[in-house]
Copies of this chain bind each other. A is one copy, B any other.
Amino acid sequence: MLPIDDSPIVRDGKSLILAMDHGLEHGPVDFEDVPEKLDPATVFETATHDAVTAMAVQKGIAEGYYPSYEDDVNLLLKLNGTSNLWMGEPDSPVNCTVDYAAELGADAVGFTVYSGSNHEVEMYEEFRDAQESARDHDLPMVMWSYPRGQGLKNDTKPSTISYATRLALEIGADIAKVKYPGDPDAMEHACKAAGDMNVVMSGGSKTSDYDFLSTVEAAVNAGCTGLAVGRNVWQRENPTHILDALEKVIFEEETADAALEAAE
């Protein structure tokens, strides 16, 4: 962990990362109800919203679409990612080098680590290479810290999420992205386990406006410095509406109720 308050992906100590790598991780099925979003340009448009501090995409999407948005969007280049088609212990290929991410204009890089996978050893060593290369380029390292594997029955229980944030701190991430552990106390413990490192909550699959914003509110109150979200924004009919509300909950620390009301 290095100080990242001066990074463009953080504003007033907070981050709202819009992620769109679902075409790789889940496939076009995630776009079934919003087929127009198959066109990455539509999501980049959404990312121009003031509340969004960075957009997270894979290399190919960055190559093809970021040049048109580089003045309005900060790029978080996700370095690894995998399809969900194969079988075996969790792993994720490194699809982009940090050098190339820097060349594409990235403001930060992202890396998934499945601690607890029987491929943990390889993944940590790939993380190390990327992290040290990111240091050379002065690029913050965002770690998707997702314990998962044969030895883990439940990947969102409190002790797992606290371990997840701590692992990110120990091996050198600057921001940890973790799932919500189900209750605010557990989230608070996970944030403490991260020391001074920023922790952002994963948005997860689509829920109602209120449920989603309430969870974000709870996470922020528990110490999270923001959110990394995909489906709960771009699967909505009106992404701007929810981003307006998120801006209030995350950056102005308003309640979900107040934010929803204001956003009407």
B81 and A162 contact, CB distance less than 8 A: no
Evaluate whether A93 and B58 lie within 8 angstroms (CB atoms) in the complex, with A23-B193, A149-B86 already known.
no
Inter-chain CA distance A29–B162, complex, in Å, is 9
B118 and A87 contact, CB distance less than 8 A: yes
From A8-16, A32-40, A232-240, A249-257, give the one contacting chain B. Answer: A32-40
Evaluate whether A168 and B60 lie within 8 angstroms (CB atoms) in the complex, with A38-B195, A83-B163, A128-B95 already known.
yes
Residues in B with CB closer than 8 Å to A27 are 159, 162-163, 166
Residues in B with CB closer than 8 Å to A197 are 60, 64
Residues in B with CB closer than 8 Å to A170 are 21, 23-24, 58-61, 81, 95
Contact of A167 among B24, B118, B195 (CB under 8 A): B24
Residues in B with CB closer than 8 Å to A121 are 82, 91-93
Residue of B nearest to A62 (CB): B172
Residue of B nearest to A21 (CB): B170
Q: Please encode chain A, from 85 to 119, with 1 for each CB lying within 8 Å of some chain B CB and 0 for all others.
A: 11110011111110010000000000000011110
Size of A's binding interface in residues, CB under 8 A: 72
Q: Is A5 an interface residue (CB 8 A)?
A: no
Inter-chain CA distance A163–B25, complex, in Å, is 10
B128 and A93 contact, CB distance less than 8 A: yes
Residues in B with CB closer than 8 Å to A97 are 128, 132
Evaluate whether A85 and B195 lie within 8 angstroms (CB atoms) in the complex, with A128-B93, A170-B60 already known.
no
Residues in B with CB closer than 8 Å to A82 are 120-121, 124
A162 and B116 contact, CB distance less than 8 A: no
Q: Is A183 an interface residue (CB 8 A)?
A: no
Residues in B with CB closer than 8 Å to A123 are 93
Q: Please encode chain A, from 155 to 167, with 1 for each CB lying within 8 Å of some chain B CB and 0 for all others.
A: 0000100110011
Q: Is A192 an interface residue (CB 8 A)?
A: yes
CB distance from A223 to the nearest CB of B (A): 12
Q: Can you report 7 residue pairs joining A to B where beta carbons are below 8 Å apart?
A: A23-B193, A28-B159, A38-B192, A59-B170, A60-B173, A63-B172, A64-B197
